[in-house]
Amino acid sequence: MNVLGVAVFAIVAAILALTLKQYSPQIAVVVSVGAGVLLFGYIAASLLPVLQEVLSISLLSEGVAENIGTLFKCLGVCYVVQLAADSCRDAGQQAIASKVELAGKVTVLALALPMLKTVVSFLDDLIFL
C-alpha cells in the first residue's frame, strides 16, 4: 500500500472539502464522503492479501479458522460502521452517527456470541476436570 499516496489524497480531499464548504456545503459533504469511500476501498483491497495469509496460517490449527473468520467479520463490521458514522458526523448528523455505531456494536456482539459460548464451555470443562 502506498501510504504517501493515501496521505496526499486525503489532504487534497480535505482541503477541497473545506474550500467548497464556503460556497456549497452540500457538495463539500459529497466530496468528503466520496473521498472516504475511495480511501476505504483502496485500503480494503490492500488488506486482502494480509487477511488471506492470516487465514492460511489459522488453517494449520483446528478450531482456530472458525474463530479467525468471526474476528474478520467483526473487524469488517467495525470498519464499515466507522466509515458510515464518520460520514454522518461530517454531514452534521451526530444522532444518526450514534445510531450507526449502536447498530455496529449490536452486530459485533451477535457475531461474537458463538465465541463466547466456546470460551464458557472451555472454562466449564477446565474447572470441572
**Do 73 and 12 share a structural domain?**
no
Encode pLDDT of 27-39 as tens digits.
Answer: 999 999 999 999 9
Contact predicate 35/9, CB 8 Å: yes
Cell of 125: 470443562
**Do 25 and 14 share a structural domain?**
yes
Cell of 116: 463466547
Domain boundary among 12, 43, 60: 60
What is the domain count for the chain? 2
Burial annotation 72-92 (CB, 10 A radius, 16+ → b, else e): eebeebeeebbbbbebbebbe
Task: Provide the whole-model pTM.
Answer: 0.73
**Do 37 and 12 share a structural domain?**
yes
SS3 124: helix
Encode pLDDT of 69-106 as tens digits.
Answer: 888 899 999 999 999 999 899 888 999 999 999 999 99
d(CA 57, CA 61): 8
